[in-house]
């Protein structure tokens, strides 16, 4: 169930990227970057982290195709996030392209949050990057890294929500 929900979410994000392919310059890249961050389960503000560029050098390699990086979540609390190698390369390349088009990280983050909001509205999804991160952890075998505050019941509800939206969208 969790793996299928994550696959459906990835399909939604890919579909959204195709829908936004004709958007003007910065919006097209922002949509792709926002969807890449969402698939990775990372907050949109992650893009403003200067150390994201050096993760391969400074992150703790997990030995399972990924790195743990420290990200400051709301209220200033630091959390370890798993970022897979493929995600790291995709996000890094898209971030480089986006930074060429946006004057500041703050304006880029606003555009990313706009695209995330638009994505949620388009598909009627009530999910957060943290929900997606929990699904990703489950799918890659790191469920033990999930916060004890995030319950399996919540994860199940998120998976059911995504699957129900997928059933409606495919009609």
pLDDT tens by residue, 114-170:
999 999 999 999 999 999 999 999 999 888 888 888 888 999 999 999 999 988 877
Tokens representing 14 are 């890919």
The answer, yes or no, to whether residue 93 has pLDDT greater than 70, is yes
* pTM assigned to the model: 0.88
Task: Summarize pLDDT for 42-73 with one digit per residue, the tens.
Answer: 988 888 765 455 444 445 555 567 788 777 76
pLDDT of residue 89: 85
pLDDT of residue 41: 93
Q: What is the mean pLDDT of residues 4-21?
A: 94
Burial 94-133 (b: 16+ CB within 10 A, else e): bbebbeebbeebeebbebbeebbebbbeebebebebbbbb
**At CA 80, angle to CA 123 and CA 63, rounded to 5?**
100
Q: Which residue has the higher pLDDT, 11 or 169?
A: 11
pLDDT of residue 34: 96
pLDDT of residue 60: 54
The answer, yes or no, to whether residue 39 has pLDDT greater than 70, is yes
The answer, yes or no, to whether residue 88 has pLDDT greater than 90, is no
């Amino acid at each position: 169930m969790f793996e299928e929900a994550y696959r459906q979410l990835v399909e939604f994000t890919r579909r959204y990227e195709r829908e936004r392919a004709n958007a003007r310059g910065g919006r097209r890249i922002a949509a792709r970057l926002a969807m890449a961050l969402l698939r990775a389960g990372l907050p949109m503000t992650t893009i403003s982290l200067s150390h994201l560029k050096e993760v391969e050098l400074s992150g703790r390699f997990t030995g399972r195709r990924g790195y743990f990086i420290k990200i400051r979540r709301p209220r200033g609390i630091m959390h370890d996030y798993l970022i897979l190698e493929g995600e790291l390369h995709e996000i890094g390349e898209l971030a480089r392209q986006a930074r060429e088009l946006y004057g500041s990280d703050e304006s880029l983050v606003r555009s990313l949050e706009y695209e995330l909001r638009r994505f949620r509205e388009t598909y009627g999804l009530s999910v957060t990057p943290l929900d997606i991160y929990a699904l990703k952890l489950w799918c890659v075998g790191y469920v033990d890294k999930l916060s004890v505050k995030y319950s399996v019941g919540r994860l199940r509800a998120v998976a059911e929500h995504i699957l129900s939206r997928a059933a409606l969208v495919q009609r």
